[in-house]
């Protein structure tokens, strides 16, 4: 009996996948745009302007759905002020991630264009970073690619929610992104000159979030 159920389930799954694959269309493309990140749960001095660039693959499904994973280099950052409550104790932090977002889209095809809703969970790993710390008018920290010594987490994960429009081969998406977890992870032997800024800013939590605008060209 159990074997018959498994066979029937396998047949139904095969038929469903065959139906989807017969109606699905796929396209490859390139993607790029601008990001406007800031940090959560800290005192921000302003929003940074960064960028993202990569490759993408779109799989269109029935009923207006599509799935679009991308592989991107995505730079995020924060301008943090008054660290530990000290006025003029500021830090600029930028992190470049190799990121894998998977965009799940839904919207009606209106022949000339297709508006859609977008939900994009993502994961990423940090490739490089830049940390500048100032006290008053003096720059006391200017480091690149400091991870363990700065106590900065390499891994990121989160979700973006937005809207988009697709016209011919072009696709534009505006999305607000939330990083989960925290930037500060600590370390066995953090550099005190660095951690006074990074730990001071993020020891109570906080991570990157903000708006991204991206343009895709699909082939």
Residue-by-residue pLDDT tens, the chain, 219 positions: 545 444 444 544 444 444 444 456 899 999 999 999 999 999 999 999 999 999 999 999 999 999 999 999 999 999 999 998 888 899 999 999 999 999 999 999 998 999 999 999 999 999 999 999 999 999 999 999 999 999 999 999 999 999 999 999 999 999 999 999 899 998 777 798 898 899 999 988 889 999 999 999 999
Nearest to 120 by CA among 216, 200, 9: 216
Global confidence as pTM: 0.87
Separation of first and last alpha carbons in the chain: 48
DSSP code for 5: H
> Tokens 């104790």 identify what position?
89
Sign of CA dihedral 78, 182, 215, 128: positive
What is the reported pLDDT for 19? 45
Cβ distance 36 to 48 under 8 Å? yes
What is the reported pLDDT for 10? 52
What is the reported pLDDT for 1? 53
Contact partners, residue 36, CB within 8 Å, separation at least 6: 47, 48, 49, 50, 210, 211, 212
DSSP code for 78: E
Beta strand residue intervals within the chain, DSSP E: 25-39, 44-46, 50-60, 65-80, 89-106, 114-135, 138-144, 155-167, 170-179, 208-218
What is the reported pLDDT for 3? 54
φ/ψ of residue 19, rounded to 5? -65, -40
What is the reported pLDDT for 84? 85
* Helix, strand or coil, per DSSP, at residue 14: helix
Phi-psi region of 30 (alpha: psi -120 to 50; beta: other; left: phi over 0): beta
* Residue 48 C-alpha from the chain's centroid: 15
Measured between alpha carbons, how far is 205 from 208 in angstroms, rounded to an integer? 11
What is the reported pLDDT for 6? 45
> Tokens 């490759």 identify what position?
55
């Amino acid at each position: 009996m159990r074997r018959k159920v498994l066979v029937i389930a396998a047949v139904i799954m095969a038929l469903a996948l065959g139906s989807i694959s017969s109606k699905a269309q796929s396209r490859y493309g390139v993607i790029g745009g601008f990001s406007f990140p800031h940090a959560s749960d800290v005192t921000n001095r302003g929003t940074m302007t960064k960028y993202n660039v990569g490759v993408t693959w779109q799989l269109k499904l029935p009923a207006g759905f599509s799935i679009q994973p991308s592989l991107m280099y995505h730079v995020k950052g924060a301008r943090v002020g008054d660290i530990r409550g000290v006025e003029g104790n500021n830090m600029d932090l930028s992190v470049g991630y190799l990121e894998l977002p998977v965009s799940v889209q839904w919207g009606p095809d209106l022949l000339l264009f297709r508006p859609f809703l977008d939900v994009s969970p993502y994961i990423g790993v940090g490739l490089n970073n830049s940390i500048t710390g100032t006290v008053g008018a003096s720059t006391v920290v200017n480091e690149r690619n400091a991870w363990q010594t700065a106590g900065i987490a390499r891994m990121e994960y989160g979700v973006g929610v937005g809207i988009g429009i697709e016209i011919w081969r072009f696709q534009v998406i505006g999305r607000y992104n939330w990083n989960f977890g925290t930037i500060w992870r600590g370390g066995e032997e953090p550099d005190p000159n660095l951690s006074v800024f990074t730990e001071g800013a993020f020891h109570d939590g906080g991570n990157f979030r903000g708006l991204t605008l991206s343009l895709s060209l699909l082939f």
